[in-house]
Structure 1
Amino acid sequence: MFQLNVAEPKLPNTLVAHGALNSAVFAISMLLVGWMAERFGPASIYVFGGSLSCISAVIGIGMFIRLRGEIRLPSEAGNKEGVRA
Structure 2
Amino acid sequence: MSTYTLSEARAHLGKVVNRARYGGEIVELTEHGEPAAVLISPERLAYYRQLEDSRDLAEAERVTAERRTGVPHAEVAALFGMAPDGRAL
| Global fold match (TM > 0.5) | no
| TM-score normalised per structure 2 | 0.37
Greater relative contact order (Cα < 8 A, sep 6+) = 2
With normalisation by structure 1, the TM-score equals: 0.39
Higher-Rg member (1/2): 2
More strand per residue: 1 or 2?
2
